A and B are shown apart, each in its own frame.
Chain A
């Protein structure tokens, strides 16, 4: 249901964009028509009406040479099979079957249209058309069209496009397009039998410098009969590229690791607060995350039904709500159950496990056992290309968000009175009590804060994970590993723990596979805990916090 609504919106957006393009396209052509002038252009047109492949081929080349603004529309029609000829006239059949005069774009009268036949093409002509379109649009002001054109030239590898390619390269400013053009140029040179060995070597060097997957493919498919030094150069370039790509690949994995690390950080940081401040093991922590995710779902439901315009802001509305709801449930749990169990950590563990079962089943009863669809706002979809890296916006948002939450919590703990009291209680509960801090109130608030943070973690996780009643369960063991590994009662330890585990996990994955990697990591942590039973940062605790 939710997916349907989402798809509907996506389609609306796309069809709107197409409509706009369709509206603007003809206007440009018609507007340019008035400045058309006769000359090589007319000669070229005549060649297209002779029903001879060689003439047609030459005509296409001449048309490109002419630089006439109508040329593109005509060649486009030739490719689409809608270019008609007869009586020394050229016409284009429009979408509704109405033909227009190819040179003037004015509609033809019905009698004229009757005797027209399509201009025929063979493979050679088709190649020429492809290259012609490519080289013509290489200079288009629209960046996307230039990119498409470069790709078209790359596919055709037609030497005829070389002059326009060089012209376009000279003035190209956009890096991405320039790379595509360079690829196309190198491909043409390598493919052309009569290009000089020097040019070919230069082309190989260019590809080597580009260093991407396309270049690697081009180098791997050198035409037969390449000279030994060319082959050697190509092999060397390939190796450089492969090494380069491996480096990017590793960087990409590190990024995935950081991204996983921030997810772990979000899930574990609330746990670090409750565990660190109160020594309370909260097995229901994962369910707080799950409740945050369901809050997001409910917020989006309301928005879809009542204020679709607000969809982009849904996450910002969900954040404070999730914090409050999860925080309130946390405080309720603390007041009703946990406070009777202080000093009995094992019992607390069991009781909160029971609570987690109740919360899971409660959500299952209310929302059903299946996954709920939480939508991603437009501004969070898509990806950022950074060299060989592809960073999706939602992951970037989560990484930034995790660090923001971390920084905020650090500030809260350091500069607010709640933070001061919490630190006092962490270090010496009895002393804090005797200087007048109401420790039980601080416990409740600290528990609420930890749970609230879990709630907002749920908002973030709803963007990358399935929102189901089991959401929390899948994070609880990992979160505990982070806290135990990082050291209890220290947010910096949690940060380092989360990032280490995240990156290690993703770096292990390519070698060991996802499951085995995770197992290896669990075993590594179990062994690590033997060495440092109180975690990475336990001893420096006070120093790092101060």
Chain B
């Protein structure tokens, strides 16, 4: 099947995923534009994580299509290839390489030739070093660059992971609950950082924290039972009867 050319960066159409008879995604359709930031909300089991799995190639849909950047059929590719296309993913619990230094974490994420033998022969050059410095600066981990990632605090790990995503230079960033387990100050800083990132690339944020979503001030999509329940500005979505019923509570 040839993928249709669309002006959107990410285009999900009618995507259905079932596990053992359970429909995790039910004919989900979603479109993200270039340089758009979108917040995804919804109750547990609404299919947020499964949606990310489909986009990043971890789960294969039974039906529907997922097209990236106009021409790439995501359902036919594996995780690494999709990542190389320019989709970065941040996990819910911060996942960094604990036995590597902060600096090496960023180094591994830097956009470069990913083939094993290139890795074996690669030497760090000046451009790479400057990129690493800039990124560490941006996620405020410059002082910790020689520490092992395992020694960082929870919030620092979240930021390191975001720094690694930026190092990948993706076109689209998927961010799963970035504010979970953060202090209020860290949460606000994270919102700032994400807004800043969204100036140059598309960002999809899955979040439960409504304050955080409000801080982001972007278009919101509410998922429920694997499909889109409502979409629009936060005020409109949160006024929606069904959204209140299944998610926000009365």
Contacts and interface: CB of A to CB of B under 8 A. Distances in A.
Interface string B14-27: 00000011000000
B92 to A, nearest CB: 16
Contacts of B20: 539-540, 542-543
Contacts of A540: 20
Nearest to A540: B20
A540 B21 CA distance: 10
A540 B20 CA distance: 7
Interface residues of A, number: 4
Interface string A520-546: 000000000000000000011011000
Interface residues of B, number: 2
Interface in A245-297: none
A542 B21 CA distance: 11
Nearest to A542: B20
Contacts of A543: 20-21
A542 B20 CA distance: 9
B40 to A, nearest CB: 26
A534 to B, nearest CB: 13
A224 B35 CA distance: 99
Nearest to A543: B20
A333 to B, nearest CB: 31
A294 to B, nearest CB: 43
Interface string B211-249: 000000000000000000000000000000000000000
A543 B19 CA distance: 12
A488 to B, nearest CB: 16
Nearest to A539: B20
Contacts of B21: 543
B36 to A, nearest CB: 37
Contacts of A539: 20
Interface in B7-41: 20-21
A176 to B, nearest CB: 54
A518 B21 CA distance: 37
Interface in B36-67: none
Nearest to A541: B20
A453 to B, nearest CB: 28
A67 to B, nearest CB: 79
Contacts of A542: 20
Interface string A58-87: 000000000000000000000000000000
A540 B19 CA distance: 10
A543 to B, nearest CB: 7
A449 to B, nearest CB: 27
B78 to A, nearest CB: 15
A539 B21 CA distance: 11
A539 B20 CA distance: 7
A23 B6 CA distance: 104
B202 to A, nearest CB: 34
A530 to B, nearest CB: 16
A194 B21 CA distance: 77
Nearest to B21: A543
Interface in A116-152: none
B93 to A, nearest CB: 14
A542 B19 CA distance: 12
A343 to B, nearest CB: 16
A131 to B, nearest CB: 74
A261 B20 CA distance: 29
A543 B21 CA distance: 10
B188 to A, nearest CB: 32
A97 to B, nearest CB: 88
A262 B20 CA distance: 30
Nearest to B19: A539
A309 to B, nearest CB: 56
Interface string A491-507: 00000000000000000
A98 to B, nearest CB: 88
A188 to B, nearest CB: 69
Interface string B107-123: 00000000000000000
Interface string A294-312: 0000000000000000000
B19 to A, nearest CB: 9
B79 to A, nearest CB: 16
A539 to B, nearest CB: 7
B27 to A, nearest CB: 23
A544 to B, nearest CB: 11
Interface string A407-446: 0000000000000000000000000000000000000000
B18 to A, nearest CB: 11
Interface string B58-100: 0000000000000000000000000000000000000000000
A543 B20 CA distance: 8
B194 to A, nearest CB: 31
A30 B132 CA distance: 115
A490 to B, nearest CB: 13
Interface of B: 20-21
Interface of A: 539-540, 542-543
5 contacts: A539-B20, A540-B20, A542-B20, A543-B20, A543-B21
By Cβ-Cβ distance, the 5 closest A-B pairs, closest first, are A539-B20, A542-B20, A543-B20, A540-B20, A543-B21
